[in-house]
Amino acid sequence: MKFIRPLASFFLLACLHFVAAAESVSVSGTGATFPAEVYAQWAKQYSSDTGVTLSYVPSGSSAGVKQIVSRAVDFGATDVPMSSADLEKHQLFQFPTLVGGVVPVVNLPGLASGALRLSPEVLAGIFAGDIQRWNDKAIAALNPGLALPDSRITRVVRADGSGTTEIFVRYLHQSAAAAAAAIEAQGSRAKWPGSNVNAVDGSGKLAQAVKATPGAIGYISSDYVLREKLAAASLRNKRSEWVQPSIEAFSAASRAGGLFKTSLEAAPLLDIDGPGVWPIVTATYVLVPRQPASVERAGRTLNFFYRSFLLGDKAVAGTGFAPLPLLTQARIVSLLTSFRAKDGRPVPVLGGTGPGVPLALQPGAYQLPTTGAGFSVSINSVPTGPSQSHIYGVSLTRP
């Protein structure tokens, strides 16, 4: 992935830390590129607040899983959740941190973002190479008011292994199986039939290739759409609604899918049936050992995510990602407090010392009963309507 902002400096340092002596790194993680910039933002805030350095290398979901399985890092990150069987086998705990969308983006001069409408069948037909021109009758039928050019479609795809590709291809096969049949899924890669395909490494290069190629279409994570000012296509969801990618549409999917609300299973969020839902939504996940060898390192790692959850909506503001639902955050934070090291000692997730010490409580907090290791969870919220509220923070108090 190509980073052209100051973030490049962070990841360069992260990579140097990753290969340097272990004692120079307070917390280390690696994996999914999907949430990389958000984790960088969180790491900067965490370092400022605590003085603890966090190194995160965006090496891809597959690498993140391999590294945490071998216990080479403190946490791994993946866009494709591990199965319950694999979690049990490798003694890992998995929890979501963010919700985002995978978005088809186009370069059709003069066309505003969201103006082009694509059904699942037409989108699959384009990426399968069966629909090759922008004024094809299948596209025109969905867009009677648009002046579509008589130009060839260039598909811009990922050449490297990518959770984004795996999610996108899975969506095409799930929502339009017949039209997508010729697209061969190969784990985190895909084999795209036909010609006029431009395969590039990383989301950054994909964004640049789409912007530089009139008539191009690609797929990319929602944060890049916002940051690179890409023109997104509107998609038809399972309720036959035409939806544009947005924080609200991603949040609608996580609510409809019941993400981590009642069980530890990773809830599927693709093509979920619900009002206002963006159909290609995924959560990104963190993997940590269930019984860490080092209480201190595990405490710093889990405290990093606890503090990030505490920021609530502020943690993802302006990133193109949606925060987890309020009760999902509360459930995760409660579960994090139950961690024990191999010798049975509790992992100090919250920081601070001594009984009766309130931890990061905010004005207006109210109590939500939980069964999490004797802690009560406080949800700090700001009302936004008669039946809705925005999460402001999640915090816990020792009894």
Give the pLDDT of residue 265: 66
The answer to whether 225 and 320 have CB atoms below 8 angstroms apart is yes
pLDDT of residue 117 exceeding 80:
yes
The answer to whether 86 and 94 have CB atoms below 8 angstroms apart is no
pLDDT of residue 67 exceeding 90:
yes
Q: Regarding predicted confidence, which is higher, 130 or 294?
A: 130
pTM: 0.77
The mean pLDDT value for 171-185 works out to 98
pLDDT of residue 134 exceeding 90:
yes
Give the pLDDT of residue 315: 78
Q: For residues 19 and 15, what is the distance between their CA atoms, to the nearest angstrom?
A: 7
Give the pLDDT of residue 270: 93
Give the pLDDT of residue 261: 62
Task: Supply the mean pLDDT for the chain.
Answer: 81
The mean pLDDT value for 250-278 works out to 83
SS (H, E, C) 185-248: EECCEEECCCCCEEEECHHHHHHHHHHHCCCEEEEEEHHHHHHHCCEECEEECCCCCEECCCHH
Q: For residues 391 and 396, what is the distance between their CA atoms, to the nearest angstrom?
A: 15
Calculate the alpha carbon distances from 192 to 14, 180, 195, 348, 392 in Å.
34, 10, 9, 48, 43
- Lowest mean pLDDT across 14-23, 128-137, 286-295: 14-23
The mean pLDDT value for 391-397 works out to 44
pLDDT of residue 360 exceeding 90:
no
Q: For residues 85 and 83, what is the distance between their CA atoms, to the nearest angstrom?
A: 5
pLDDT of residue 48 exceeding 80:
yes
Give the pLDDT of residue 15: 38
pLDDT of residue 385 exceeding 60:
no
Neighbours of 4 (CB within 10 A): 9
pLDDT in tens, 26-44: 899 999 888 888 998 899 9
Q: For residues 371 and 39, what is the distance between their CA atoms, to the nearest angstrom?
A: 29
Cα 278 → chain centroid: 14
Give the pLDDT of residue 353: 36
Give the pLDDT of residue 23: 40
The mean pLDDT value for 227-247 works out to 97
pLDDT of residue 398 exceeding 60:
no
- Lowest mean pLDDT across 86-90, 169-173, 263-267, 321-325: 263-267
**Is 271 strand, coil or helix?**
coil
Q: For residues 34 and 126, what is the distance between their CA atoms, to the nearest angstrom?
A: 24
Give the pLDDT of residue 262: 59
Continuous segment of H or E residues that includes residue 380:
strand 376-383
- Lowest mean pLDDT across 52-66, 76-90, 366-380: 366-380
- Lowest mean pLDDT across 54-68, 276-290, 321-335: 321-335
Confidence of residue 384 (pLDDT cuts 50, 70, 90): very low
The mean pLDDT value for 126-153 works out to 97
